[in-house]
A = this chain, B = another copy of it.
Amino acid sequence: MHALLEYLRAEQPHINDALHRLLADLNPLVRPVAEHVLAAGGKRLRPLLLLLTARGLGRHDEDLYPLACALEYLHSATLLHDDILDGAALRRGRPAAHTLFGITPTVLAGDVLLALGNRLMADSGNARLTACISNSIMATATGEIHEIAQVGNVALTLPEYLEIITGKTAWLLQASCQCGAIAAGADPAQEAAAARYGLDLGIAFQLVDDALDYDTTREKAGKPVGADLLEGKVTMPLLYYLAEAPAEEKEALAGLMARLRQGDAPEQLAPLFAPFVQKVAACGGAQKTRDAAREYARTAAEALAAFPAGREKDMLLEAVAYVVARER
């Protein structure tokens, strides 16, 4: 994985420069909100995926950067809008934008970033790029709504869960890779392979995220666990537990979820939820979820068979390994 990290370290300054530069034309009332969410960091995974797929399929010029940035702007816009939903006070350890700028400027700055992402794609002259990201934004927003609608539902099915995480996370990673292929003028088979790679990588990514939230071995290191449960999110590790839990335990959890939905403060309910985090850990829910992630990682890697051999293909394979191995 060393080579991927080196590639990432070499690219991040270029991506960050472009991200900053392309915001220059924004109105001074909007730019600080956009700068704030971008400054909160992140790995720039989506821009990197666009660059890697486009280069892996033969395109290497500098004009890829605005397209790569478009993906990060779209992702940032969804973060701005999501944080409002969650009423989240923090984003990556910093105050969430809406707590600093107010709800409406945050909603509107998100709209500006969505539009900027679209315009950067449109400026390339290829309408298929815009169609691709538009579909992914529709799927991402729909996935978020789906997730909210299912908050606290302990009867959530596995297919429903997979549909939610595919929408809210995997579609934008799919678009990152598919746009890279479109930008490179790839043939239809390669474009489909890039899309498949991005989608399965995205599902694996979210599965690992959801597994980490129940990885109680991290508690010793002071890492928070059980946050999803306190938000009423029913994720795969919990589904493994629920599949074999005694009826009275399921009822007790459903009762807690109902109190959450009725507006009881999560902090107050935390001690009551804590035993369930331990039960999920005890039944191996986190580990089984990682196993599922490895299956998606495998099909993601298989899709890369359509790519020509080369440095970027190697990096894309390393990205798969990174996603399933990550511990934070």
Query: Which residues of A does B touch, CB under 8 Å?
Result: 26-27, 29-30, 77-78, 81, 84-85, 102-105, 107-112, 114-116, 118-119, 121-131, 133-135, 137-138, 140-142, 144-146, 148-149
Contacts and interface: CB of A to CB of B under 8 A. Distances in A.
Given A81-B104, A122-B130, A124-B127, 11 more contacts: A26-B142, A29-B145, A30-B141, A30-B142, A81-B111, A84-B107, A105-B148, A107-B107, A110-B111, A119-B131, A119-B138
A134 B109 contact: no
A316 B214 CA distance: 62
Contact of A104 (B85, B119, B124): B85
A27 B141 CA distance: 10
A144 B108 contact: yes
Contacts of A112: 137-138, 141-142
| Chain A binding surface, main DSSP class | helix
18 contacts: A27-B146, A29-B142, A29-B146, A78-B111, A104-B144, A104-B145, A105-B145, A107-B107, A108-B142, A114-B114, A116-B138, A118-B134, A122-B122, A122-B131, A124-B127, A125-B127, A126-B127, A130-B130
A145 B118 CA distance: 20
Nearest to A128: B122
A149 B27 CA distance: 12
A238 to B, nearest CB: 22
User: How many copies make up the complex?
Assistant: 2
Contacts of A118: 118, 130, 133-134, 137
Contacts of A116: 134, 138
Nearest to A130: B122
Contacts of A115: 114, 134-135, 137-138, 141
A58 to B, nearest CB: 22
A107 B131 contact: no
Contact of A30 (B125, B137, B145): B145
A107 B134 contact: no
A123 B123 CA distance: 15
Contacts of A102: 148
A119 B135 contact: yes
Contacts of A134: 115-116, 118-119, 122
